[in-house]
């Protein structure tokens, strides 16, 4: 009796897997810093004290935290301007896995989608950017939600 090659194991799939592993290894393994100085209001808004989060003093700095509902979120310093901050959900827009930071990208461990730190799509299968969260910015605090 002839033995069949499993249909889900293809040369292309194998090469894609090897490429993904190599790509992840080439990226800087830098993790975002957990935010400190956070207060969650009764309305669910998160207030983050800037002086407690020095990672946000430099462009490209990232802090992560959880929303009042427990969703993973991040604030990214996108520019040196006073309003150069962005807040996003760290939930992949493909099927909802939590994305992780690898250098200057968010990478989904589920199927390999990649996003810029600002949440724009780079590589599918996700077709939609990471969801941004409205944020009020003052000289001392960021209020998210
Ligand atoms: S859940 Fe993120 S790429 Fe599929």
Q: Is the pLDDT of residue 33 over 50?
A: yes
Question: How far is Cα 7 from Cα 93, in angstroms, rounded to an integer?
Answer: 28
pLDDT for 31 equals 66
- Read off the pTM: 0.77
Q: How far is the CA of 28 from the centre of ligand 1 (A)?
A: 21
Question: Which phi and psi (to 5°) does residue 80 adopt?
Answer: -80, -5
- Please give the number of the atom of ligand 1 that sits closest to the Cα of 92: 2
**Per-residue DSSP letters for 92-131?**
-TTT-PBPEEETTEEE-TTT--EEETT--EEESS--SPPP
Give the residue, out of 110, 124, 127, 131, with the most ligand 1 atoms within 8 A of its beta carbon, to mutate for a pocket test. Answer: 110
Structure tokens at 43: 């309305």
CATH number of 29-144: 2.102.10.10
Q: Where are the domains of the chain?
A: 29-144
Regarding the beta carbon of 92 and ligand 1, being less than 6 Å apart is answered yes
Instruction: Share the mean pLDDT of the chain.
Output: 82
Atom of ligand 1 nearest to the CA of 93: 2
Average pLDDT estimate for 72-90: 95
Tens-place pLDDT, residues 59-68: 999 999 999 8
pLDDT at site 68: 87
Between 14 and 40, whose confidence is greater?
Answer: 40
Ligand 1 probe mutation, 108, 114, 121, 127, most atoms within 8 A of CB:
108
């Amino acid at each position: 009796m002839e033995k069949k090659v499993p249909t889900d194991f293809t040369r292309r799939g194998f090469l894609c897997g090897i490429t993904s592993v190599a790509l992840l290894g080439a990226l800087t393994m830098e993790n975002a810093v957990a935010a400190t100085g956070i207060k969650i209001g009764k309305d669910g808004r998160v207030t983050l004290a800037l002086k407690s989060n020095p990672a946000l003093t430099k462009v490209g700095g990232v802090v992560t935290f959880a929303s009042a509902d427990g969703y993973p979120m991040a604030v990214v310093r996108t520019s040196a301007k006073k309003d150069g901050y962005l807040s996003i959900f760290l939930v992949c827009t493909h099927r909802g896995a939590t994305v992780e930071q690898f250098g200057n990208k968010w990478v989904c461990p589920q199927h390999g989608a990649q996003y810029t730190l600002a949440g724009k799509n780079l590589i599918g299968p996700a077709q939609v950017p990471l969801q941004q969260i409205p944020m009020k910015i003052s000289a001392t605090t960021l209020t998210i939600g």
